[in-house]
Amino acid sequence: MLPSLFLAATAATLASAHTVITYPGWRGNNLHTNEAWPYGMQWEYPCGGINLTTNRTYWPTTGGALAFQPGWFQGHQTAFLYVNIGVGTEGPDGGPINMSNPLLAPFQLLGPSNGPFPGTVCLPQVPLPQGWVMNPGDNATLQIVEIAMHGAALFSCVDITFAEPGDARIPEVNETNCFNSSDIGFANIYTVTTTPIGAAANMNVNSASSFHTAAWLGYSARIKMPVIGQVRQAPLHLEQLTVGCRLAVGLWMHQKSLSRVAAESNSNPPWPIR
């Protein structure tokens, strides 16, 4: 875990810092904005602009803990979080060539403010993908993806070497390096029921009014159940993150459908069309 003094000092001076992995380790400090990364390093896929290093951490072959700090810059009062894994060193950056293996279903972060905020998220037991068998000595990379409110993705990684559970080389997990801050909440992401494409042309204005905005996810058609579920306050349990997500109708298609409904009904819809 990074020293708290370093975290506090860095957060006060950097303008592009977002996600810091505090357990089991971190590929490297990518909290930089410079000529090479004018918008900040962490926006660069797959690991925030840092190539593979020899800074590996041991992690159990059965999966283990993962902790991070998500609120190092503005724009993260709500965010989507993804946790992925890649194996090998054949990628162009010296890391895995495939980082699209999810360890968890995505979930939503609810921060205390839209500005920078302190706080830690702890996932106490992140499992391996179903059917995976890893052996001691195998190398892999864990990737955290944070989708900000404006839709862009931040990337941060930790490179690991698998070890048998109980191996003394695996960093100890305790209440100082893996905990959930009380001012950070979580929400499940649910499947939505949608109207098939083209069906909106046969709707009148009254029935079309069932369209509405679902948080900051964009527009979803005829929502039958909440997209964002009950807020989960810390401590966070892994089973609360077993959720599914399916967005079927985009903003452009929604606006196009509303415009068609308004034209065919010769009346103004009960909401502005922009």
Q: What is the DSSP letter of 41?
A: G
Domain identity same for 231 and 150: no
Q: Is 139 contained in some domain?
A: yes
Q: Is 274 contained in some domain?
A: no
- Smallest Cα–Cα separation from 158: which of 238, 47, 82, 64? 47
pLDDT of amino acid 73 = 58
Kindly write down the DSSP assignment for every residue of 62-129, as one continuous string.
T-EEEEEE--SSSS-SEEEEEEEEEESS-STTSS-S---EESS--EEEE-S-SS-----EEEEEEPPP
Res 62 pLDDT > 80: yes
What whole-number distance in Å separates Cα of residue 124 and Cα of residue 80?
A: 19
Q: Is 273 contained in some domain?
A: no
Indicate the pLDDT class of residue 65, thresholds 50, 70 and 90: very high
Res 199 pLDDT > 80: no
Total domains, the chain:
2
Q: What is the pLDDT of residues 134-182, one digit of tens each?
A: 999 999 999 999 888 778 888 999 999 999 999 999 999 999 889 888 7
Domain identity same for 214 and 164: no
What whole-number distance in Å separates Cα of residue 116 and Cα of residue 157?
A: 21
Domain identity same for 229 and 170: no
pLDDT of amino acid 12 = 32
Domain identity same for 103 and 146: yes
Q: Which of 165, 183, 201 is the last residue of a domain?
A: 183
Domain identity same for 169 and 231: no
Better-predicted residue by pLDDT, 64 or 230: 64
Q: What is the pLDDT of residues 202-234, one digit of tens each?
A: 545 444 344 333 333 333 333 333 334 444 444
Q: Is 138 contained in some domain?
A: yes
Q: Which of 183, 209, 239 is the last residue of a domain?
A: 183
Angle at 138 between CA 137 and CA 144, to 5 degrees: 125
Beta-carbon contacts of residue 225 (< 8 Å; ≥ 6 apart) = 190, 191, 192, 193
pLDDT of amino acid 233 = 43
- Cα 152 to chain centroid distance, Å, stands at 11
Domain identity same for 156 and 177: yes
Q: Is 88 contained in some domain?
A: yes
What whole-number distance in Å separates Cα of residue 148 and Cα of residue 158?
A: 20
Q: How many Cα atoms are found within 13 Å in the side-chain-facing hemisphere of 186?
A: 25
Domain identity same for 54 and 156: yes
Instruction: Please report which helix (H) or strand (E) contains residue 267, including its range.
Output: none
pLDDT of amino acid 141 = 96
% of the chain with per-residue pLDDT over 90: 28
Q: What is the mean pLDDT of the chain?
A: 69
pTM of model > 0.75: no
Q: What is the DSSP letter of 201?
A: G
CATH assignment of the domain containing 133: 2.70.50
Q: Is 47 contained in some domain?
A: yes
Domain identity same for 144 and 193: no
Q: In angstroms, how far apart are the furthest CA atoms of the chain?
A: 73
Q: What is the pLDDT of residues 227-256, one digit of tens each?
A: 344 444 444 443 333 333 333 334 344 444
Kindly write down the DSSP assignment for every residue of 170-190, as one continuous string.
SPPP-TTTS---TT-EEEEE-
Query: Phi and psi dihedrals of 159, rounded to 5?
Result: -90, 130
Domain identity same for 147 and 38: yes
Q: Is 244 contained in some domain?
A: yes
Q: Which of 135, 161, 183 is the last residue of a domain?
A: 183
Domain identity same for 132 and 178: yes
Query: Phi and psi dihedrals of 261, rounded to 5?
Result: -60, -45
pLDDT of amino acid 148 = 81
Q: Is 87 contained in some domain?
A: yes
Query: Is there a contact between 82 and 147 (Cβ–Cβ < 8 Å)?
Result: yes
> What's the length of the chain?
274
Domain identity same for 133 and 74: yes
Better-predicted residue by pLDDT, 185 or 27: 27
Q: Which domain holds residue 256?
A: 188-265
Domain identity same for 179 and 195: no
